[in-house]
Structure 1
Amino acid sequence: MKNFANLIKALDSSNKTTVKVDALTEYFKNVSPEDKVWTIAILSHRRPPRPVNTTLLRLWANELANIPMWLFEESYHIVGDLAETIALIIPTTKEHSDKSLTQYLQEIIALKKKTDDEKRAYLHENWLALNYYERFVFTKLITGSFRIGVSQKLMTRALSKAENVDEDALAYKLMGNWDPNKITFQELILDEKSSDYLSKPYPFYLAYPIEGEVSNLGNPEDWSVEHKWDGIRSQTIIRENEIFIWSRGEELVTDKYPEFHSFVGIIPNGTVIDAEILAFPNDEIGTFNDLQTRIGRKTTSAALLKSNPVILKAYDLLEWESNDIRNLPFEERHNLLEKLFESIKDKNLPFYLSERKILNSWVDVATERMRAREMKSEGLMIKHKNSTYQVGRKKGDWWKWKLEPLVIDAVLTYAMRGSGRRSNLFTDYTFALWQNNEKGERELVTFAKAYSGLTDVEFRKVDDFIKKNTIDKFGPVRSVTPELVFEIGFEGIALSKRHKSGVATRFPRILRWRLDKKIEDANCIDDLKAMII
């Protein structure tokens, strides 16, 4: 644990990529194979389930610190992170622990089945046996919310340097549904096993946002244009008469979309398709809000399948006739995908092609982009016709050109403290719009939350206003005198019964502080609903 805690401290103390890669490389060269596996798992979001709920964690930490609960809660709201608060309030002793990261994680897994008394005793013993930063990391592992500023790509680069294994090969090895408690480092990284191949997806290739003028890309005839669909990016794998569906987050979601099981026996074995899963109610592309009714469900009822079916909108072909074709030019891969679609389009499958647009000028591309909301897309994907299918986010060959956000002027009504470096400031805001109530009187109705878009100076000014204009407190939430107006941007909007406003916005964020407007000038809910296509 000591080595892992020192690694996390090093990673957390720098924003430089080279420093992070060097720290990870040195760590991987010096720790045990078992700790390597668990470190890879933690940094690729394969953490063990949380064995203790946060209410008990707070209670038991408070007992050990021997302070009033109100003081713990106030400290928590100021610090903004539970693990850090616990690490700070528990006194450091002369005790120390030589247990490895692997041993701690195995104990944490076993802890889930223990009684509350056993859990309490275990936490007290180990909190007191660790120094501040070790205690912080240990508690992060307990909470299951371990996040650090290292991407899987960065971790893979360091592992490649430490083990002298090709980086792209490593990215492929780390995909899929492996269990860090059951696999060895030799099996995960060093061995080549054909049995692992059956369900394994490829690393996804990601696009960069367009920078500057789109015409800077050169000759438009060198590029392929298609719509950027707003669903769940996925890979559909058909091998040996079995189907496997992976989300971009490396979650195996085959059972959540039974519509796609009909592909087996019709789409040839040895096929891997890069596609978007889209809601398709009433035989037309739905909103992401529609798709959310299918996300996270443990079981999918017949009624839900009928009312909110899904389709696969295919972008690319990564494997064909059991051959990895990612190194073929995009145009060749898409031609094969088109031939596949033509061969099965009469089979009544929930399989659709993301069509390429033949556009001769950047003006035509810009015009097509303006049709995005009509097409139920987020904008355009622009791919070089000769591009190979690469790993991760690489600049140059694939670009996304999203629509400008929808905008509305809204009033700040509630606020919470931020997290991390903003934990001492109120930076998480709730916004409201005007609506006439049953008496015909105008009132503010909340519709969205946002916590990004302002400068540090602006956040401090808003924080100062909130502290001076708090109407009421509800735990960590403050009700604020409605006085400040902000321009809020968002990607999409849909009707929703789950929200008091009757609408749900997608990716809301602050665009600017409207110092030139009074709250009477803010928009109303009807203005928001009028944006729904």
Structure 2
Amino acid sequence: MKQFADLFVQLDQTNKTNDKVALLRNYFATAPDRDKLWTIAFFSHKRPKRPVNSTLLKAWTMELAGLPEWLFKESYSFVGDLAETISLMLPPPTQTQDQPLAYWVDYLQDLSKLEEDEKKARVLVAWQQMTQPEKFVFTKLMTSSFRIGISQGLAIRALAEQADLDKTIVAHRLMGDWNPNEVSFDSLVMEESREDNLSRPYPFFLAHPVTTEEIENLGTVDEWQVEWKWDGIRAQVVVREENHYVWSRGEELVTDKFPELAGFALDLPSGTVIDGEILPYAEGKILPFAVLQTRIGRKNVSKAILKKAPVVLKAYDLLEGDGKDVREWSMIERRKKLEEVHEAVRDQASYFLLSNKVEADSWADLALIREQSRSLMAEGFMLKRRDSPYQVGRKRGDWWKWKVDPLTIDGVLINAQRGTGRRSGLYSDYTFAVWDEYDGQRRLVPFTKAYSGLTDQEMRKVDSFVKRNTKEKFGPVRSVTPELVFEIGFEGIQKSSRHKSGVALRFPRILRWRHDKPADEANSLIELQELLNLYGNQ
């Protein structure tokens, strides 16, 4: 645990990629195998289930530290992270420990089986043996909110360098539904297992964004395959030896959540892997993403849900054909083979569609066609170089996403809350409102929250404003004098009975601070509803 806590602290203290890789490489070279395995699991978002709820952890901390609840709340509000707050408040250790990370992970997993009094006793014993960084990491793991602050790809790079393996091989081996309690480090990373490879997907190839101003730098249109960019769940359908598996981009096995896809997957030849997008679809039309959300997170998909939220797979690419990895083929060759695969099963494959190719003579013509995106439930275009292989991760040059400009609305800042992590000392999470007239009275109606888009300097200025213009406090939230106006961008809009405004926005963020606009000139609820009528729930 000492070694892992040191790694956590050191990673948090540097922003340099090469330094982070070096720290990880050194850790993987010296840590015990089970510790390495659990570290890989954390980077892959595989964590033990939460054994203790936050309410109990807060109560035990206040009791052990002898602090009143109001002081805990104020401290938590300022620090912004529960585990860090607890680790800073707890008294210094009375003992020492030198157990490996894996020991403490097992310790946490055993807590789930205990009654509350036994859990408390075991947690206090652990805290009393640990330094502040160790308590921080231990408590983070206990709350199941563990994030190390570096990408999974960076961890894979470090592990591959240390193990002297190709990065793509390591990435491939770490894909899939493996359990740290059931595999060894060697069997997962160093050895190739036929049984594991049967269901394992490939690492996804991701695109970088490109703007309209940059588009001319990509050369001529005929160098690119252009497709609509759909808004669904990116997935791979894997068919091997008369079995099929559906994997999300988040490496979650979702086969049971989309049983419709079995209807065509089992008709595909063994040794076929297709990359595509799971989309809500009915009567020849793609439905709003909100329809698909009714299926996300459900453990059981009922007949009613299948009827209410039908789906298809829009296929983008072929990664494996006839049992052969074809990722090194050109985009043109892979597309041709994908079309052949689709043609062979199209009569019995109503849930299997090809992503449409878009033809145009120039970028200007494509820009005009792109304006149809929202009416088609698309986000814009995907641009794929015709001679490009299918790569691993987010690489610049061969794949680009050319999205439509976001929808926008000007809102007034009415509430603010302190952020978390590096923003823990600043009011950086905001609630915005638009104007509504009711019974002759003009009032502000909240319509969204947003916390990204401002520079650090702007955020500090807003923080200062919030502290000087607080009207009321509601726990960690402060209401403020409604003076500041911000332009809010968002990708979609839909009806919502859960919000006072009657709408919910998809991916809201701050585009700019409207210094030029007084609060009275912010947009109205009527204008927000007009956007809903134009672009929502089509």
Same fold (TM over 0.5): yes
Q: Which residue of the partner structure matches residue 391 of structure 1?
A: 392
Q: Which residue of the partner structure matches residue 446 of structure 1?
A: 446
Q: Which residue of the partner structure matches residue 62 of structure 2?
A: 62
Matching of residues 37-56 of structure 1 within 5 Å: 37-56=37-56
Q: Which residue of the partner structure matches residue 29 of structure 1?
A: 29
In structure 1, stretches of 5+ residues that fail to align are none
2:226, 2:382 within 8 Å by CA — same for their partners in 1? Answer: yes
Distance in 2 (alpha carbons) for counterparts of 1:434 and 1:352:
44
1:497 shift after superposition: 2.8
Q: Tell me how many residue pairs correspond in the alignment.
A: 532
Distance in 2 (alpha carbons) for counterparts of 1:5 and 1:296:
32
1:411, 1:432 within 8 Å by CA — same for their partners in 2? Answer: yes
**Letter matched to residue 328 of structure 2:** N
Matching of residues 115-154 of structure 1 within 5 Å: 115-154=115-154
Q: Which residue of the partner structure matches residue 505 of structure 1?
A: 505
**Letter matched to residue 262 of structure 2:** H
2:244, 2:266 within 8 Å by CA — same for their partners in 1? Answer: no
Distance in 2 (alpha carbons) for counterparts of 1:306 and 1:239:
29
Matching of residues 252-291 of structure 1 within 5 Å: 252-291=253-292
Matching of residues 221-236 of structure 1 within 5 Å: 221-236=222-237
Distance in 2 (alpha carbons) for counterparts of 1:111 and 1:336:
52
Q: Which residue of the partner structure matches residue 359 of structure 1?
A: 360
2:274, 2:316 within 8 Å by CA — same for their partners in 1? Answer: yes
Distance in 1 (alpha carbons) for counterparts of 2:241 and 2:395:
32
Superposition CA RMSD, Å:
1.4
Distance 1:181 1:348, change over 3 A: closer
Distance in 2 (alpha carbons) for counterparts of 1:344 and 1:522:
54
Q: Which stretch has the larger CA shift, 423-432 or 520-529? A: 520-529
Q: Which residue of the partner structure matches residue 492 of structure 1?
A: 492
TM-score, normalised with respect to structure 2: 0.96
Work out whether 1:164 is the aligned partner of 2:148: no
Q: Which residue of the partner structure matches residue 199 of structure 2?
A: 199
Q: Which residue of the partner structure matches residue 100 of structure 1?
A: 100
Distance 1:282 1:355, change over 3 A: closer
Distance in 1 (alpha carbons) for counterparts of 2:498 and 2:357:
37
1:359 shift after superposition: 2.2
Determine helix, strand or coil for the equivalent of 2:286: coil
1:241, 1:264 within 8 Å by CA — same for their partners in 2? Answer: no
Distance in 2 (alpha carbons) for counterparts of 1:477 and 1:110:
36
Distance 1:185 1:224, change over 3 A: same
Query: Percent identity over the alignment?
Result: 54
1:412, 1:484 within 8 Å by CA — same for their partners in 2? Answer: yes
Distance in 2 (alpha carbons) for counterparts of 1:250 and 1:271:
18
Encode CA deviations 1:121-147: one digit per residue, 9 max, x unaligned.
Answer: 111111111111111111111111111
Distance in 2 (alpha carbons) for counterparts of 1:525 and 1:492:
16
Encode CA deviations 1:196-244: one digit per residue, 9 max, x unaligned.
Answer: 1121100000011116521101122111111110111111112222221
1:340 shift after superposition: 2.1
Q: Which residue of the partner structure matches residue 518 of structure 2?
A: 518
Q: Which residue of the partner structure matches residue 182 of structure 1?
A: 182
1:289, 1:504 within 8 Å by CA — same for their partners in 2? Answer: no
Work out whether 1:482 is the aligned partner of 2:482: yes
TM-score, normalised with respect to structure 1: 0.97
1:310 shift after superposition: 1.1
Distance in 1 (alpha carbons) for counterparts of 2:28 and 2:266:
44
Distance in 2 (alpha carbons) for counterparts of 1:35 and 1:122:
21
1:103 shift after superposition: 0.5
1:40 shift after superposition: 0.5
Distance in 1 (alpha carbons) for counterparts of 2:529 and 2:336:
41
Q: Which residue of the partner structure matches residue 368 of structure 1?
A: 369
Encode CA deviations 1:289-333: one digit per residue, 9 max, x unaligned.
Answer: 221111111112212211221111111011111111111101110
**Letter matched to residue 403 of structure 1:** V
1:281 shift after superposition: 4.3
In structure 2, stretches of 5+ residues that fail to align are none
**Letter matched to residue 375 of structure 2:** E
Distance in 2 (alpha carbons) for counterparts of 1:371 and 1:181:
49
Distance in 2 (alpha carbons) for counterparts of 1:217 and 1:442:
50
Distance in 1 (alpha carbons) for counterparts of 2:480 and 2:21:
44
Distance in 2 (alpha carbons) for counterparts of 1:282 and 1:476:
47
Determine helix, strand or coil for the equivalent of 1:343: helix
Distance 1:307 1:146, change over 3 A: same
1:363 shift after superposition: 1.3
2:264, 2:348 within 8 Å by CA — same for their partners in 1? Answer: no
